[in-house]
Amino acid sequence: MTLEELDKEYVLQTYTRNYTNFVSGEGSTLFDENGRDYIDFAAGIAVNSVGHNNPVLVNALCEQAHKIIHISNLQVIEPQAKLAEQICKLSNYDGAIFFANSGAEANEGAIKIARKYGETKFDKKKFKVITLEHSFHGRTITTVKATGQESFHSPNFSPYPDGFSYVNSIENIYSNIDDETVAVLIELVQGEGGVQPFDRDEIQGLYKFLKAHDILLIVDEVQTGIYRTGEMLASNLYEIEPDIVTMAKGLGGGVPIGAVMTKHKDILVAGDHGSTFGGNYLSTTAGLAVLEVLSKLYERDELHETFIHFESKLREIAKKYSNLFEKEVGLGLMRGLRAKDAQTVALVVSNSMKEGLIVIKAGRNTVRFLPALTISRAEIDEGFKRFDKAISSI
């Protein structure tokens, strides 16, 4: 059997796959089985934050694997405690953390914290959560329902949990709050929803209002967190301190990990929540290595310089092909080009792959760019050279 045949025979077909067989990577360059190189502007959908084959991450994982890979959470796990400390310190957040395995699990944990808060902190139960249209919060039954996109709410998986509603703007959140509303769940930059950042003043106004009315603000930083938008958290960039923050993707550099961080440290108690694999030795060792690499880039301003160079190249493309793209969107290395139609996006993504460049699509007719935060200037330049060639053939 070929690899494609093997995949189609034995793997559930829940993805529309490209069947290029990658066998190795270095930095932001991948190599297929024929030795052809591809510039990676997707980083596994913002996961490979320190690139492929990063020596700090690889060495840390190898060293830890020779010691202990996993024990249960019934015992204390040293790198777990140290990673929790690092996340809190780097984000300047007075909170505590529960570790899971994915962004969806982190968001499930956030919703559980909010629901218990609403059950135990008020005379009358509060349980409703308001989210935004075009949002994306995960693929579990609950987080799909929290996602503000009707296309995800297939009747095939119903009935869904009650208590979720969606509004089309930050402004419309206020009029949809009632005496059963316990939390508002938002992304500061909507990723799957088209790489759409929200206005800083609007977010700060919402933050102050919710705080004054004892309603929790949950910020989904699964994609925006871990320096993706320039600071440790996008919440730092927006100068807010949410009640609950969720993280995943870039935190493990490719090793599955999720985290929910909250300032309400007393809400969950023993038995309220758990995870067999969450926060084990291997994943939290990965997290520590990733933060070691990225915090140094941040402190030396190298991260900022990379952002500026990537953005300048992207703006050149947007200007050159204004007949295809309406505007450039995003923050940091969470970027997009808003195309004039969905067909253009599909052609750009497929043509880029043919030219040896990996980009992906997002909602609202957007070509999405999520490269490793360690990407080199040479890889950026070569990637956009290939991108230009891919677009010119449309």
Model pLDDT, residue 24: 98
Radius of gyration of the chain, Cα coordinates, nearest whole angstrom: 21
Model pLDDT, residue 260: 98
Q: What average pLDDT does range 368-385 have in this prediction? A: 98
Model pLDDT, residue 237: 98
* Closest CA relative to residue 334, chosen from 305, 377, 308, 368: 368
Rounded to two decimals, what is the model's pTM? 0.97
* Closest CA relative to residue 166, chosen from 145, 193, 180, 191: 145
Tell whether the model's pLDDT for residue 163 goes beyond 90: yes
Whether a cis peptide bond, with omega within 30° of 0, leads into 256 is no
Residue type, 270: A
Q: Is 336 helix (H, G, I), strand (E, B) or coil?
A: strand
Q: What is the pLDDT of residues 175-230, one digit of tens each?
A: 999 999 999 999 999 999 999 999 999 999 999 999 999 999 999 999 999 999 99
Q: What average pLDDT does range 340-359 have in this prediction? A: 97
- The residues facing 368 across adjacent strands are 336, 360
Per the structure block, which two tokens stand in for 231? 């600071």
Q: What average pLDDT does range 32-40 have in this prediction? A: 98
Is there a contact between 54 and 374 (Cβ–Cβ < 8 Å)?
A: yes
Q: Is 241 helix (H, G, I), strand (E, B) or coil?
A: coil
- Which of the 8 DSSP states describes residue 156? G
Structure-token match 């982190």, residue found:
106
| Average pLDDT of the residues of the chain | 97
Q: Residue 249's Cα: distance from chain center in Å?
A: 5
Confidence band for 393, pLDDT divided at 50, 70 and 90: confident
Q: For residue 55, what is the enclosing H or E element?
A: helix 55-65
Model pLDDT, residue 131: 98
What's the Cα-to-Cα distance from 199 to each of 59, 204, 335, 363, rounded to whole Å? 41, 9, 16, 19
What's the Cα-to-Cα distance from 165 to each of 191, 194, 259, 382, rounded to whole Å? 19, 20, 24, 44
Q: Is 199 helix (H, G, I), strand (E, B) or coil?
A: coil
- Which of the 8 DSSP states describes residue 160? P
Pure H helices in 66-120: 78-90, 103-120
Tell whether the model's pLDDT for residue 174 goes beyond 90: yes
HEC secondary structure over 310-333 = HHHHHHHHHHHCCCCEEEEEEECC
Residue type, 241: E
Distance CA 139, CA 365 (A): 21
Tell whether the model's pLDDT for residue 144 goes beyond 90: yes
Model pLDDT, residue 79: 98
Distance CA 2, CA 8 (A): 10
* Closest CA relative to residue 264, chosen from 287, 247, 241: 241
Q: What average pLDDT does range 350-365 have in this prediction? A: 96
Model pLDDT, residue 81: 98
Confidence band for 276, pLDDT divided at 50, 70 and 90: very high
Confidence band for 69, pLDDT divided at 50, 70 and 90: very high
Strands (E), the chain: 22-26, 29-32, 37-40, 96-100, 128-132, 164-167, 181-186, 189-190, 196-197, 216-220, 244-247, 258-262, 325-331, 334-339, 357-358, 360-362, 366-369
Cα torsion for 268, 271, 275, 277, to the nearest 10°? 120
Is there a contact between 222 and 106 (Cβ–Cβ < 8 Å)?
A: yes
Per the structure block, which two tokens stand in for 168? 């089309």
Q: What average pLDDT does range 368-394 have in this prediction? A: 97
Angle at 353 between CA 377 and CA 297, to 5 degrees: 25
Per the structure block, which two tokens stand in for 57? 């991450």
Tell whether the model's pLDDT for residue 394 goes beyond 90: no
The domains located in the chain, with CATH, are 3-53+301-392 (3.90.1150.10), 57-299 (3.40.640.10)
Residues 6+ apart with CB under 8 A from 196: 134, 189, 190, 329, 364
